[in-house]
Amino acid sequence: MEILHLDMPLDFCLNIAKLLMDHERESVGFHFLTIIHERFKSSENAGKVLLLYIDMLLQRKEELLAKEKIEEIILAHQTGRQLTAELMNWLHNILWRKAASSFEVQNYTDALQWYYYSLRFYSPDEMDLDFAKLQRNMACCYLNLQQFDKAKEAVAEAERHDPRNVFTQFYIFKIAVIEGNSERALQAIITLENVLTDEESEDNALVAERDSPTMLLSLAAQFALENGQQIVAEKALEYLAQHSEDQEQVLTAIKCLLRVVLPKIAEMPESEDKKKEMDRLLACLNRAFVKLSQPVGEEDLSLESRANEAQWFRKI
């Protein structure tokens, strides 16, 4: 450990420790980290040593020891020895990455534990968009665990701090459907559509990066149908057909909408409401005609598939 006697900077020492652990010298590397922590404990970046220690422990599945180190940071945080903003962001990234890996293997309880560690570092005056995202992540875990009351509380927090986020609205929608609150679910779908079509919305840009600006409408329609919320599903399918640029997705949405709505219209007496429903379906059929009339592109349906789709609509 002669490096420390040369008065080398902290980052250099941390790189040495990481290099040792990356080359199967873990015991030496961790021991070196302990010495580094003692050497730089009076530095404002002393927490950097502890964070690297935690990160390395989690990468090597030493979760119990990592939790002990996290508790040390929490205790220091509560007694006025907070991490710098940069180090706090690093810690949140470590915790969220671990939570995400647990979520991917459907270990939602474990994911919640890591998200809860992150939550403990937020104070009332620090609640921002990342806090809202944290609440959405926790809500998703609660929903998968069927802990609906806790999911509802988390989504309420997310809505308080980031109401225009498409994922906030999607979770509001899911909880409303689960509770059988059709009015609330329908309002969430309308808000979701408004956000998705707002060209100046950052949320719209976020979803566009995923190459699926209508992904959530598709999921919403499916979830509503699975839970017997037909009116809500109709609205989601209608918006999906209006806004999707994917030819196959548009045609599928329209076909599904027709299957749901036509039997209902057939039983309606002649009235203004029936006329409105017929006009709505006519608009969807025109949308299908436009899609089927577009020139064939690389990602579009083949000519044979188009012919089959056209034949289906002729039978209406």
* Cβ atoms of residues 73 and 92 within 8 Å: no
How far apart are the two ends of the chain, measured CA to CA in Å?
81
Residue 29: is its pLDDT beyond 70? no
- Say whether 128 sits in a helix, a strand or coil: coil
Average pLDDT over residues 88-99: 95
CA-CA-CA-CA torsion for 254, 258, 260, 265, nearest 10 degrees?
A: 140
**Per-residue pLDDT tens for 209-221?**
444 458 899 999 9
Give yes or no for residue 275 having a pLDDT over 70: yes
What angle is formed at CA 252 by the lines to CA 248 and CA 253, rounded to 5 degrees?
Answer: 120
Which tokens sit at 192?
A: 């979701």
Task: Judge whether residue 199 has pLDDT over 70.
Answer: no
Residue 315 has a pLDDT of 60
Would you say the pTM of this structure is higher than 0.85? no
Share of the chain above pLDDT 70, in %: 74
pLDDT for 6 beyond 60: no
Write down the domain spans for the chain.
Answer: 245-316
Runs of H (alpha helix) within the chain: 10-22, 26-39, 46-59, 63-78, 85-104, 108-119, 129-144, 148-161, 166-179, 182-196, 202-208, 215-226, 230-243, 247-266, 272-293, 303-314
Q: Given this model, what pLDDT does residue 236 score? A: 94
What confidence tens digit (pLDDT) does each residue in 46-59 have? Answer: 678 788 889 888 98
Average pLDDT value for residue range 138-167: 95
pLDDT at residue 44, rounded to an integer: 64
